[in-house]
Amino acid sequence: MSQRSCLSVILAAGEGTRMKSALPKVLHKIAGLPMVAHVVKAAEAAGAGDQALVIGHGAEEMRKAAQKFAPKAESFVQEKRLGTAHAVLAARDAISKGYDDILVMFGDTPLIDPEVLIAARQKLAKGTAVVVVGFRTSNPSGYGRLIEKGGKLIAIREEKDCTDEEKKITFCNGGLMAIAGKQALKLLDAVGHKNAKGEYYLTDIVEIAAAQGLDVVATEASFENALGINNRAELAEAEGIWQTRRRREAMLSGVTLIAPETVFFSHDTEIGADTIVEPNVWFGPGVKIAAGAKIHAFSHIEGATIASDCDVGPFARLRPGADLKQKAKVGNFCEVKQATIEEGAKVNHLTYIGDARIGAGANIGAGTITCNYDGYSKFFTDIGEGAFVGSNSSLVAPITIGKGGYIASGSVITESVPDDALAFGRARQRTLAGKGKELRERFASAAAARKKS
C-alpha cells in the first residue's frame, strides 16, 4: 500500500443550514478539532498523502482554517451545487495528476476509521475499479440500498426508487467511495443529470462502471463510520461516540478512569500509563500527561504539560503554558497559567500563579497570587528553590524571591527578596483594649435609630 499514491477528495461545500450557524458546518468541532480535520487525519492515516478540499459556503473561512489542519491541501471551490459528482469534479485538476487511488470522502463524517479506508484501498490494489463503503442496519428506512449480484455491486438505489423487495435490503450506502485513479475521470465525466433534481450523482458511477465491465464491490463498516452531521443534536451524538472510543483506548493503554463517562478528552490529549483520572475532568487541546500522575475530580486542563507523579486538583485549572515537573502539586481551587512548577513544588490551594516559575521544593500558601498584569503588560515572578510563601500573600511582578526565601503571611511584596531572607509586607498590628465593645454598642445604637425613623 505504501507504494501506491493516493488522493483524498473531501467534500466540504455544504451550507449546513440545519446547524443554525454562521460557521461553515464542517468547522464545527468534535473533541476540539473541526469535524473536517478528523476526516483529513483519517485519510492521512490511511496513506492519502495529498488532499483536495472542495469548498463553497464560507470559502475564505475554510481556507484559513485549513491552514492549521491541512496546510498542504489544495482547495477547490464548487461555485454551483449541482450534486456530489459535480462536487468531486471541482477537484479535476488534482484528480488528473495520476494517483493510483482516489478516496472520495465527506467533511461531515468525522468518525471514519482509517482501517475502513485502508480496506477499501486494498481492494483497489487488487484491481477493483470502485469500492463503496456500506453499513448494515435493522432500520434502513431513508438510506440508499446497495444492490449486489454475485458478490458484485451493481447499483446504489435511493429508497424512493426501490422496489418492495429492494426496500428489505439492510445493506446501505455509507457515502464514501474509493475509485481507481486511472478510471476516475472517465467514470465521473460519464455521470449525467437526467433525474428529478437535474443533479450529477456520484452514486451513478456504480452502474456506469458495472456496465463497462469494471469490477465494483461494496465493503462493510459500522454505522458510526458513515454517521453524517447535519444539526447540533447529531454533533453531540458524534462527540459522545468519539469520547467513548477515546476513553476505552485510554483505559486499555493503562490509564485508570474512575468514572469514564464523565471524563472528556481533546483530539490530541496524551496521557501516560498508571495515570489516575477521577470523575468530571475536562482536557482541552494541547495536554500532555506523563505516567503515574493523579488528576483529581472537577479539574479543567488545557495547553498544559504534567510530568510523572504529579498531583492535580480537585477543582484545579491549568491553563496554556502550565508546566508541572515531576512530583509537583497543584491543589484545589488553584489556577496556573504560563508558569513552571518545578520538581516537588507545592501550590496547594486557593492560589493563582501566572507568568512565573516556582522553584523545586517551594511551598506556596493558600490565597497567594502573582500580580502579573498591570492592565497593559505581563510581568514575571521567579520564586527560588525551597522558598516558602505564607498564606494570603500578593507578589507584585516583576519580582524575584530568592532560594530559601521566606514570605510572611498576609504580605504584599513589591521588591525582590534575597536568598534565605525573611520579608514582611504588611501593617503592624495594633490592639486597643475595650474598643470592640465600644464599636458594637455604637453600631447597635445606630441600627436602632434607623428602625425608629
Residues tagged active-site: 349
Q: In the numeric block, which cell numbers belong to residue 59?
A: 470559502
Task: List C-alpha distances in Å: 9 to 51, 90, 91, 95, 271.
Answer: 6, 10, 7, 8, 33
User: Over the range 111-121, which residues count as b (16 or more CB within 10 Å of their CB) and which as e?
Assistant: bbbeebbebbb
- CA nearest neighbour of 421 among 438, 399, 444, 441: 399
CA dihedral (269, 245, 263, 289) in degrees, to 10, reads -30
| Alpha helices in 322-434, H assignment, sequence order | none
One DSSP character per residue, 331-362 reads EET-EEEEEEE-TT-EEEES-EEEEEEE-TT-
First vs last C-alpha separation in the chain: 91
CA dihedral (36, 38, 44, 45) in degrees, to 10, reads -160
> Distance (Å, rounded) from C-alpha 358 to C-alpha 340?
6
285 cis-preceded (ω within 30 degrees of 0): no
- Find the angle CA(127)-CA(131)-CA(135) to the nearest 5 degrees: 145
User: Over the range 52-88, which residues count as b (16 or more CB within 10 Å of their CB) and which as e?
Assistant: bbbbbbbbeebeebbeebbeebbbbebeeebbbbbbb
- CA nearest neighbour of 92 among 12, 9, 176: 9
Residue type, 95: I
* Number of other residues whose CB lies within 10 A of the CB of residue 363: 18
CA atoms within 13 A on the CB side of 261: 0
- CA nearest neighbour of 75 among 88, 63, 67, 65: 63
CA dihedral (135, 252, 229, 20) in degrees, to 10, reads 170
- The three-state secondary structure class of 185 is helix
- Kindly give, in sequence order, each residue whose CB lies less than 8 Å from that of residue 284, ignoring residues fewer than 6 positions away: 32, 266, 300, 301, 302, 303
